[in-house]
Amino acid sequence: MQVQFVEDFLSEYKRNKYNLLQLFGDDFELRGVIRALKNEFERDKIEIFFKDDAENAVYNLSMKTLFGGKLIIIYEVDTFPKAELNRIKRLIGNPEKLKPNIVILTYRNKRNILKHENSLTGCFKLVYDSDVPSWLKRYIHSLGYTITEDAINFLHFSFGTNREELRKQIEQITERLDKGDTELTIEHVKDVGFYRDDAVFKITNSIIEGNYKTALEYLMECSDKKALFYFINRDIRYLLVIKATLELGEDINKLVSKRRLNLHNYFLNNVYKPAAARLPFKKLEKQFEDIMESEYKIKSGWDEFSINLNFVSQLEAGGR
């Protein structure tokens, strides 16, 4: 049997307890399946093999287990030397003979997946940015909860395609839910975006809010490899557009619907709009000029961290 989603894969596995599991595709989804299976076994009952362990993988598959079943995980089995691969194919020819062990084979190439009637195969598609909302729904549903569209959009905006961080945050949110609550709403998730582990996001938000001391503190935690000025540049351009729209008396929400801004409505109305309303054009334009100058210095070979520190320090000192 072949399925496309992790939730369906794990559900089918629990119903039928397949002994041979074959996996291909999205790395995050593969890790999710393997993590779930590992939780069913004690650590000393898990054997993991890679290409360099081909002979040991064959040996473990052929061994008779005397003291309970093991979880045998063989990564990228289709990259194994031909002799060992053929021996593995023979050993798994009848999945019933694998009992009481559970064998997981992962593949680099989908076309190399072995066809077995008594195996469960997961071919997981890569998840792109546009797929994240549906992924969120499936994942939250698998935990026994539902989620509103506003909450989905907010989480998507806050974390993009970082599903590992999304998973961690969702688990924390569900742990804080009141007993009996089964639906995640915007009220449950609205603070998450401000506490994610992204120093650049914290710096840019601190700057546009005028909280330069906090920006400096976050900057000291920030790697010099972070593209800090790209995000500050983007945020100030957003503020200039929002400021002009407010001055004209037009609806700023149309900026999102017309795709002029890639912002969630909550951030637009609760973070960017207040900042744009209180900051004069000259101050915004001056910050934009400073950013462009700093970006030019970095591209010319200046040390990025020093430039970052100098930029935020100037903002703090001058209140610009």
Res 194: pLDDT: 46
Better-scored residue on pLDDT, 282 or 73? 73
Residues 146 and 229 both lie in one domain: no
Residues 84 and 11 both lie in one domain: yes
pLDDT one-digit tens code per residue, 114-159: 888 788 999 999 888 788 899 999 999 989 999 999 889 888 877 7
Residues 25 and 44 both lie in one domain: yes
Residue 48 · residue 73 · CB < 8 Å: yes
Among 33-42, 187-196, 244-253, 302-311, the range scoring the smallest mean pLDDT is: 302-311
Total of domains in the chain: 3
Question: How many residues in total does the chain contain?
Answer: 320
> For the stretch 168-178, what's the b/e string if a residue is b when 16 or more beta carbons lie within 10 angstroms of its beta carbon?
ebbeebbeeee
Res 228: pLDDT: 58
Better-scored residue on pLDDT, 240 or 95? 240
Compute φ and ψ for 21, nearest 5 degrees: -120, 130
The DSSP code sequence of 163-227 is HHHHHHHHHHHHHHSPTT--EE-HHHHTTGGGSSS-HHHHHHHHHHTT-HHHHHHHHHHS-TTS-
Is pLDDT at 226 greater than 60 in this prediction?
no
Better-scored residue on pLDDT, 239 or 26? 26
CATH number at residue 310: 1.20.272.10
pLDDT one-digit tens code per residue, 293-315: 766 665 666 665 566 556 655 55
The mean per-residue pLDDT over the stretch 287-296 comes to: 68
Residues 66 and 178 both lie in one domain: no
Compute φ and ψ for 74, nearest 5 degrees: -120, 110
Q: What is the dihedral of CA 247, 249, 250, 255, to 10 degrees?
A: 30
Question: At which residue do the structure tokens 């970082």 appear?
Answer: 162
Better-scored residue on pLDDT, 274 or 95? 274
CATH number at residue 53: 3.40.50.300
Residues 237 and 175 both lie in one domain: no
Is pLDDT at 35 greater than 70 in this prediction?
yes
Res 30: pLDDT: 94
The mean per-residue pLDDT over the stretch 99-103 comes to: 85
Residues 158 and 208 both lie in one domain: no
139, 160, 194: which is the final residue of a domain?
194
Residues 34 and 94 both lie in one domain: yes
Is pLDDT at 197 greater than 50 in this prediction?
no
124, 150, 169: which is the final residue of a domain?
124
CATH number at residue 159: 1.10.8
Res 124: pLDDT: 93
pLDDT one-digit tens code per residue, 56-95: 888 888 876 666 788 999 999 999 999 998 988 888 887 7
Domain that holds residue 31: 2-124
Residue 159 · residue 41 · CB < 8 Å: no
Residues 18 and 79 both lie in one domain: yes
Residues 189 and 204 both lie in one domain: no
Residues 13 and 69 both lie in one domain: yes
Among 80-84, 160-164, 206-210, the range scoring the smallest mean pLDDT is: 206-210
Query: To the nearest whole number, what is the mean pLDDT of the chain?
Result: 79
Res 62: pLDDT: 80
Residues 23 and 71 both lie in one domain: yes
Q: How far is CA 111 from CA 24, 93, 197, 239, 252, in A?
A: 10, 18, 38, 50, 50
Residues 262 and 246 both lie in one domain: yes
Distance from C-alpha of 26 to C-alpha of 28, rounded to nearest angstrom: 6
194, 224, 247: which is the final residue of a domain?
194
